């Protein structure tokens, strides 16, 4: 009897990561790479390589050019980014997104558009628990003493 698919070594769709890192610490770079790898593991994707851009100019980027080149390879599924902002500033991001889609690749975002950190959370983790205050109107004043 054949083993179940879950017990076979099956490779998922091939994706390539892309990071735009300007003035980022090595620890932050490592954390972002791990984020991409974990996202791919959870979604059964094969992360083939991560292209990293470090320049701030609006000119051509060797990393992005390399990414577009590999998207032409057969069996390429898409590009995974931590967030859309990694494509660059808005004037650069829109054409880059169009190039990725024109290459027939999907754009996968670990943190999609509109997904923000919950209130009280920072990049370092959750902050202190928020204080909740109940508001009472004269009609709903709570009873302080109850008779038994």
Q: In this predicted model, which residue has the larger pLDDT, 33 or 129?
A: 33
pTM of the model: 0.69
Domain boundaries, the chain: 12-112
Residue 9: CB atoms within 10 Å = 4
Architecture (CATH level 2) of domain 12-112: 3-Layer(aba) Sandwich (3.40)
DSSP state of 140: G
Count of residues making up the chain: 148
The pLDDT tens digits for 65-101 are 999 999 999 999 999 999 999 999 888 999 999 999 9
Percent of the chain with pLDDT over 90: 55
Select from 55, 57, 56, 42 the least CA-distant residue to 12: 42
Residues 6 or more apart from 101 whose CB is under 8 A from it? 107
């Amino acid at each position: 009897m054949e083993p179940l698919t879950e017990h076979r070594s099956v490779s998922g769709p091939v994706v390539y990561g892309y990071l735009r890192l300007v003035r980022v610490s090595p620890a932050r770079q490592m954390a972002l790479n791990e984020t991409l790898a974990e996202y791919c593991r959870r979604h059964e994707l094969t992360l083939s390589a991560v292209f990293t851009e470090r320049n701030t100019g609006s000119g051509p980027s060797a990393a992005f050019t390399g990414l577009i080149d590999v998207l032409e390879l057969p069996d390429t599924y898409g590009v995974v980014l931590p967030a859309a902002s990694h494509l660059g500033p808005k004037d650069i991001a829109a054409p880059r997104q169009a190039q990725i889609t024109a290459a027939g690749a999907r754009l996968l975002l670990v943190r999609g558009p509109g997904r923000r950190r919950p209130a009280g959370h920072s990049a370092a983790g959750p902050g202190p628990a928020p204080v909740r205050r109940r508001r009472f109107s004269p009609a709903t004043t709570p009873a302080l003493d109850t008779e038994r």
